[in-house]
């Protein structure tokens, strides 16, 4: 194992890039990209870019980084970082991730959702694949050990063959359901989504001009290629449940607890709780960033590869297309220009 330290550049020196940990003073694992790099033995933030000079000054004072730029492309060309973390507002993600790949960056983290349309997502996919970059996005439940524990229990057959999956929370499309759909997919080992029905809380089903300038709340029912049906229930505190032939596993309270229930022998309709081992405290952001490093060193795909991120972005946008057409939509999505603005 090499002990190389990877040089990280952050684009967008605000909340996810630098300051989000201030919002949770009682939480110890680092959450921002800068704090996660500081906690890592493999990552060092060496440069950053932001159009706001006040954010650049605050970032320099907080993290001791002096190589700061207004223009992120100039930063990449001058500093030649190993990794770029795109932490800007949502409508800028696609342009910046695409350009980072085109500029030759080999390790790319991009906050979610990666794009506002499939035209944008297609551009990222093409640029990352053409350059041979590795890619992860900020769907951080995929990098949370509690969800790994749930996935492993499902893999090991503890609940029998999965039959259905449910997400519990009211949330918007590209800022929220990209998380819900990604997590359901991860728990089931990322089978392809074949079709989706969805409804948004917008009155006009037409989606005028094929564009929404606000990220709407919505619900969905989708079908994976392995036959599992997944549904969103618009209430609850970000909980996920997979139900199988002989039991169920449910992650409670936004990842803070897990319940395994198994049918008792001879009592197929009566389930009993089964104790599970607690997971250690950790930083999902640090796991996500270090997964890029390890995937590079081990010559393997990342846990949230560009192909997975692209496909699940397509599922989210197909939800909106289902609302627009008032019918279930099969993938791939034909309407590549449908645009949903998100912050």
Per-residue HEC secondary structure of 287-323 comes to HHHHHHHHHHHHCCCCCCCHHHHHHHHHHHHHHHHHH
The CATH number of residue 317's host domain is 3.30.360.10
Q: What is the pLDDT of residues 276-298, one digit of tens each?
A: 999 999 999 999 999 999 999 99
Kindly state the helix (H) or strand (E) to which residue 165 belongs, with its residue range: strand 162-168
Work out how many domains the chain is built from and give that number.
2
Q: Determine the pLDDT at residue 268.
A: 58
Same domain, 93 and 213: no
Specify whether the CB–CB gap between 240 and 183 falls below 8 A.
yes
Q: Interior CA angle at 111 toward 107 and 96, to 5°?
A: 65
Same domain, 156 and 96: no
Same domain, 275 and 149: yes
Same domain, 269 and 294: no
The CATH number of residue 71's host domain is 3.40.50.720
Q: Is residue 1 part of a domain?
A: no
Q: Is residue 205 part of a domain?
A: yes
Instruction: Tell me the mean pLDDT per 10 residues along the chain, length 343.
Output: 87 97 88 98 98 98 98 98 98 98 98 98 98 98 98 97 98 97 98 97 84 95 98 97 96 94 74 89 97 98 98 98 97 98 90
Residues with Cβ within 8 Å of residue 304, at least 6 apart in sequence: 135, 136, 137, 139, 142, 143, 182, 288, 291
Q: Determine the pLDDT at residue 205.
A: 76
Question: Which ranges of 165-305 does DSSP label H, i.e. alpha helix?
Answer: 178-187, 284-298
Same domain, 239 and 316: yes
How far apart CA 20 and CA 35 sit, in angstroms, is: 9
Residue 29: give the domain boundaries. Answer: 6-139+286-305
Which residue carries 């050990």 as its tokens? 145
Same domain, 228 and 290: no
Q: Determine the pLDDT at residue 264.
A: 80
Same domain, 246 and 291: no
Tell the burial category of 45 from Cβ atoms under 10 Å away from its Cβ (0-12, 13-18, 19+). buried
Same domain, 191 and 264: yes
Same domain, 147 and 238: yes
Helix axes 118-131, 306-325, angle to 10 degrees: 170
Q: Determine the pLDDT at residue 71.
A: 98
Specify whether the CB–CB gap between 140 and 282 falls below 8 A.
no
Specify whether the CB–CB gap between 39 and 30 falls below 8 A.
yes
Which residue carries 């990604």 as its tokens? 182
């Amino acid at each position: 194992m090499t002990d190389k330290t990877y040089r990280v550049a952050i684009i967008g020196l605000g909340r996810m890039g630098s300051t989000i940990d201030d919002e949770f003073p009682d939480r110890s694992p680092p959450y921002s990209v800068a704090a996660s790099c500081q906690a890592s033995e493999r990552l060092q933030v060496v440069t950053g870019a932001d159009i706001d000079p006040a954010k650049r000054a605050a970032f320099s004072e907080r993290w001791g980084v002096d190589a700061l730029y207004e223009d992120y492309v100039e930063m990449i060309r001058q500093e030649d970082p190993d990794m770029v973390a795109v932490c800007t507002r949502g409508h800028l993600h696609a342009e910046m991730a695409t350009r980072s790949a085109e500029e030759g960056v080999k390790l790319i983290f991009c906050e979610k959702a990666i794009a506002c349309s499939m035209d944008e997502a297609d551009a990222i996919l093409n640029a990352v694949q053409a350059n041979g970059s590795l890619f992860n996005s900020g769907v951080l439940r995929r990098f949370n050990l509690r969800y790994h524990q749930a996935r492993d229990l499902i893999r090991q057959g503890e609940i029998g063959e999965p039959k259905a999956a449910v997400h519990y929370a009211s949330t918007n499309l590209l800022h929220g359901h990209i998380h819900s759909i990604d997590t359901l997919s991860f728990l089931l080992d990322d089978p392809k989504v074949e079709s989706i029905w969805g409804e948004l809380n917008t009155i006009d089903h037409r989606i005028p001009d094929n564009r929404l300038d606000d990220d709407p709340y919505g619900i969905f029912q989708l079908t994976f290629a392995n036959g599992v049906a997944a549904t969103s229930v618009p209430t609850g505190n970000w909980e996920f449940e997979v139900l199988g032939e002989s039991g169920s596993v449910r992650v409670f309270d936004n990842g803070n607890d897990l319940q395994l229930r198994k049918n008792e022998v001879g009592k197929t309709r009566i389930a009993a709780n089964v104790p599970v081992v607690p997971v250690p405290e950790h930083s999902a952001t640090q796991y996500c960033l270090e997964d890029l490093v390890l995937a590079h060193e081990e010559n393997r795909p990342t846990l949230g590869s560009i192909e997975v991120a692209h496909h699940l972005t397509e599922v989210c946008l197909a939800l909106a297309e289902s609302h627009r057409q008032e019918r279930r939509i099969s993938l791939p999505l034909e309407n590549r220009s449908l645009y949903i603005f998100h912050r």
